[in-house]
Structure 1
Amino acid sequence: MAKRKIPDILTLEEQNRLLSQFNCRYLCPQRNKMMIRLFLDSGLRLSEMLNLKWKNINLLTGNLKVVEGKGNKDRILWVNDHALDMLKNWRERQVEEIGRVELVFTTRKGTQLNPRDIRQMVSTYSKKAGIEKKVSPHSFRHTFASDLLRANNNIRKVQKALGHTDLSTTMIYTHIVDEELENDLKSFRE
């Protein structure tokens, strides 16, 4: 079996630099920032993000239901208070400027976004933030998984959050944490 490539992930500093690039006085930058924040805080796939509906988010509890993710599987996630506040603000602005729509993220006309346009937006803003890695929406998923594993040290919880059926798919993230452990141990008590 071929060894899987360890995915590129964003450091916390890179995440913050990226999120600071958006001028939220304007509708589309606010939407784009919200999307990236939600990618980083939930591990959603691009297709799941583009198909996310308001009826599947509880704006009081932060409960987010992914309906028919990869493999037509549903899963439940929760978002933190900061992301929840951003979602509430986005909802108000979307209703005000676009109208009541079913999808959480839409074009100015209220239609579904094109995945290619989102990939391009992520690339553009990443370069603007001075991030030299190749950044894609899937990079955010990898970053989420690595950060979650680092925070809770529980591969099964990461597996569940990502919606992986097979634990071996999730195990790629242990290599990232192992590299960090190696660096920590090498510099321990120097």
Structure 2
Amino acid sequence: MARPDKLPRVLTEEETDRLLSEPNQRYFGPHRDYLYMRVMLKAGLRASEATALRPERIDLMSGKLMVREGKGAKDRTLWIGEELLEELQGWMDRRQEKAPKADYLLPTSKGTQVATSHLRRSVKRYARDAGIEEVERVSPHTLRHTFATRLYRSAGKIRLVQKALGHSDLSTTMIYTHVVDEELEGAMKGL
């Protein structure tokens, strides 16, 4: 299989920490943006899937998250860990106070769905403020790439990554093996 010309941009752990430390969570909008980034990093959601998330699609006890009508109108089931679940449970009180009639898990302060363009601008701004290199290549999709690469590194099973991302064709998911192969090459050449 030919190596892709441009591998996806993946954040390091340190870049991720810096990115997530940027939003000032004392305020509703930045707190929501922070949670968007956390959910995308922990569940590999597309920006459109994250902004369409509804509270009833996430079980705050088990961590089960249902993505309805993702790309290609496919549903998928994902899970998020305890730490993020606790943060989302805390968010629910704030959301209820600020946007009680909202249909979305992470709405605007008026209760409406956040535009994916807002998410793109916010992620880029937080990345710039965090001093992340190649900021022009950082987007909500970078968070998805970061999730997929980390899942592949930890599980070592490309089919799990395919299922988590909701890819119908395995060849779409194979890019993540190239990212890890490139890291292996760099590590071995350094020996």
Instruction: State the TM-score, normalizing by the size of structure 2.
Output: 0.94
**Superposed CA offset, 1:45-65 (max 9, x none):** 011011111110000000000
Please state how far the C-alpha of 1:3 moved relative to its aligned partner.
3.9
* Conserved 8 A contact 2:104-2:113: yes
Alignment of 1:1-16 (within 5 A): 3=4, 5-16=6-17
Indicate the SS of the match to 1:158. Answer: helix
Aligned match of 1:53: 54
* Conserved 8 A contact 1:55-1:102: no
Aligned match of 2:96: 95
Number of aligned residue pairs: 188
* Conserved 8 A contact 1:94-1:100: no
Aligned match of 2:19: 18
Q: For structure 2, list consecutive stretches of 5 or more residues without a partner in the other structure.
A: none
Q: For structure 1, list consecutive stretches of 5 or more residues without a partner in the other structure.
A: none
* In 2, Cα distance between equivalents of 1:44 and 1:164: 12
* Conserved 8 A contact 2:3-2:178: no
* Conserved 8 A contact 1:159-1:167: yes
1:175 aligns with 2:178: yes
Alignment of 1:12-161 (within 5 A): 12-133=13-134, 134-161=137-164
Q: Kindly provide the amino acid, as one letter, of the partner of residue 75 in structure 1.
A: R
Q: Kindly provide the amino acid, as one letter, of the partner of residue 82 in structure 1.
A: E
Q: Kindly provide the amino acid, as one letter, of the partner of residue 169 in structure 1.
A: T
Q: Evaluate the alpha carbon distance shift between residue 182 and residue 3 of structure 1 in structure 2; reply closer, same or farther with a 3 A threshold.
A: closer
* Conserved 8 A contact 2:43-2:147: yes
Q: Kindly provide the amino acid, as one letter, of the partner of residue 164 in structure 1.
A: H
Please state how far the C-alpha of 1:32 moved relative to its aligned partner.
0.7
* Conserved 8 A contact 1:57-1:65: yes
* Conserved 8 A contact 1:4-1:172: no
* In 2, Cα distance between equivalents of 1:92 and 1:80: 20
